[in-house]
Amino acid sequence: MFVYADNAATTRMNKAAMEAMGPYLDGFYGNPSSQHAAGRDAAKALAQARAKMAKNLGCEPREILFTSGGSEADNLAVFSAAALGEKSGKKHIVSTAFEHPAILRSLDRLRAKGFSVTLLPVPENGVISGQQVEEAIRPDTCLVSVMYANHEIGTIQPISEIGRICREKGVLFHTDAVQAAGHLPICVKDQQIGMLSLSAHKFHGPKGVGALYVQKGIQLEPMITGGGQERGLRAGTENVPGVVSMAAAFDFACAHREENMKKMTSLRDKTIDGLKNIPYSILNGDPVCRLPGNVNVCFEGVEAEALLFLLDQAGICASSGSACMAGSLEPSHVLLAIGRTPDQARSALRLSFGEENTEEQVDFIIETTAKAVSSLRGVKSSVPRL
Ligand SMILES: *Cc1c(COP(=O)(O)O)cnc(C)c1O
């Protein structure tokens, strides 16, 4: 049996995304900046895609900027907020210890440039509180960046509350919503979000395309200079097929969100119940306040790499955490942040479901994992430490 349960790393493109892309790979190949019929067709497609994204995010089309993905959107948000802050002498940033590396490595760069960064510690359940954010904000804070849902443990952050706090304090609020977009409700106006990052390949769109919502009035600091595309804020000929396809995928995901979430929540809970019966297992992250498709469990005394190898041999694609960190021997910074020991962190299995997964696959995953865990413990004859 082949089971793909690594949808937090990337997803399969769906039919809506593929069908939308087709014509722009073939017949409609114009450059949106060109002043002729082919160019106008491409420009029109781009405008329609922008309007679609805006409708589903609750903002205006001109507040959407297309990027090469989530990482670029995150970088653009962080460096733009820093540039704005610097102009008014504000060089403090609040974020969290379990952000995606696209945020954390950007903050490292700013630290080296003299910014001070407060990374909020993460409670054991993986949910930051509004109060933590409120207490960390200083008069010189130029940015609060807190992810909507965590990429490894799936926990959902109180984005609306953080938005309200930032609005009251007059601080710019960015959220990395790459894991949330298409899966959790988003309305940037209601949630008082200043900037929001998303990436198409996490909601069944193509890889290499994403978007940053930027509330009007916020001045971006372009990272790629050149032509005047994206109102001069992001140079380079637009990825028309990618953008059109992303908009179709996002539209589809938002339209089917509630039914899909119900289905995935039930797969998630069934998996958690099954894996809980394996001795010395620990669920990472809040059992309820988490993404519908996310399961993350430590099996004490087991090396995740060996477990993943056995699962892979059985046809199951899973992960030990973030794909960007795969292959590194460093324990996950997310699991360390919620208080797991390095050994525990190296024993984590992340399963992330999509709409295509089935109950039969979940049964197979539970059975295969239980066998693999006990055989690995037997081989190593290691007694899990409690
Ligand atoms: C995948 C991911 C990213 C990076 O997105 P890319 O499009 O792959 O660059 C950023 N943040 C989070 C939370 C992610 O899960």
Q: What is the pLDDT of residues 297-323, one digit of tens each?
A: 999 999 999 999 999 999 999 999 766
Please say if the pLDDT value at position 386 is more than 80.
Answer: no
C-beta separation of 173 from 162 below 8 A: yes
Name the band, by pLDDT with cuts 50, 70 and 90, for residue 380.
low
288/312 same-domain check:
yes
3 state DSSP class of 101: helix
Name the band, by pLDDT with cuts 50, 70 and 90, for residue 384.
low
Domain count, the chain: 2
The CATH number given to whatever domain includes residue 27 is 3.40.640.10
Q: What pLDDT does residue 323 have?
A: 60
Contacts of 90 (CB under 8 A, 6+ apart): 139, 140, 141, 142
Q: What pLDDT does residue 82 have?
A: 98
Average pLDDT, the chain: 96
Last residue of one domain, picked from the residues 216, 231, 255: 255
Q: Which residue has the higher pLDDT, 326 or 318?
A: 318
Q: pLDDT (tens digit, 9 = 90+) per residue, 191-225?
A: 999 999 999 999 999 999 999 999 999 999 999 99
Q: Using CA atoms, how far apart are residues 186 and 183, in angstroms rounded to an integer?
A: 9
Ligand 1 pocket mutation pick from 150, 202, 204 by most atoms within 8 angstroms of CB = 202
Cα of 278 from ligand 1 centre, angstroms: 31
152 domain-assigned: yes
Fill in the amino acid letter for 73: A
240/272 same-domain check:
no
Q: Give the structural domain span for 110.
A: 15-255
Q: What pLDDT does residue 330 have?
A: 86
Pocket-forming residues, ligand 1, beta carbon under 6 Å:
69-71, 74, 100, 102, 147, 151, 176, 178-179, 199, 201-202, 210
Q: pLDDT (tens digit, 9 = 90+) per residue, 352-367?
A: 999 999 999 999 999 9
- DSSP alpha helix (H) spans, the chain: 15-25, 37-57, 70-87, 101-112, 130-136, 159-169, 240-255, 257-276, 304-313, 333-337, 342-345, 359-380
90/201 same-domain check:
yes
Buried b (16+ CB within 10 A) or exposed e, 217-254: eeebebeeeeeebbeebbeeebbbbbbbbbbbbbbbbb
Q: Using CA atoms, how far apart are residues 179 and 340, in angstroms rounded to an integer?
A: 22
Structure tokens at 61: 């089309």
Name the band, by pLDDT with cuts 50, 70 and 90, for residue 99.
very high
78 domain-assigned: yes
Q: What pLDDT does residue 212 have?
A: 98
Atom number, ligand 1, closest to the C-alpha of residue 322? 15
Fill in the amino acid letter for 192: Q
Last residue of one domain, picked from the residues 255, 285, 316: 255
Q: Using CA atoms, how far apart are residues 186 and 331, in angstroms rounded to an integer?
A: 32
Region 147-160 average pLDDT: 98
Please say if the pLDDT value at position 385 is more than 90.
Answer: no
Q: How far apart, in Å, do the first and last CA atoms of the chain sit?
A: 35
Phi/psi for 196 (5° steps) reads: -145, 130
Last residue of one domain, picked from the residues 222, 240, 255: 255
Closest CA to 242 of 68, 77, 102, 72: 68
Q: What pLDDT does residue 324 have?
A: 56
Region 136-149 average pLDDT: 98
Please say if the pLDDT value at position 51 is more than 80.
Answer: yes
Please say if the pLDDT value at position 383 is more than 80.
Answer: no
Percent above pLDDT 70 for the chain: 96
Fill in the amino acid letter for 274: G
Please say if the pLDDT value at position 9 is more than 70.
Answer: yes
Q: Using CA atoms, how far apart are residues 228 and 328, in angstroms rounded to an integer?
A: 39
DSSP secondary-structure letter at 156? Answer: B
279/197 same-domain check:
no
199/300 same-domain check:
no
Ligand 1 pocket mutation pick from 178, 203, 291, 332 by most atoms within 8 angstroms of CB = 178
Give the predicted TM-score (pTM) of the model.
0.96
Please say if the pLDDT value at position 382 is more than 60.
Answer: no
Structure tokens at 293: 């498709």
Secondary structure (DSSP) of 60-78: -GGGEEEESSHHHHHHHHH
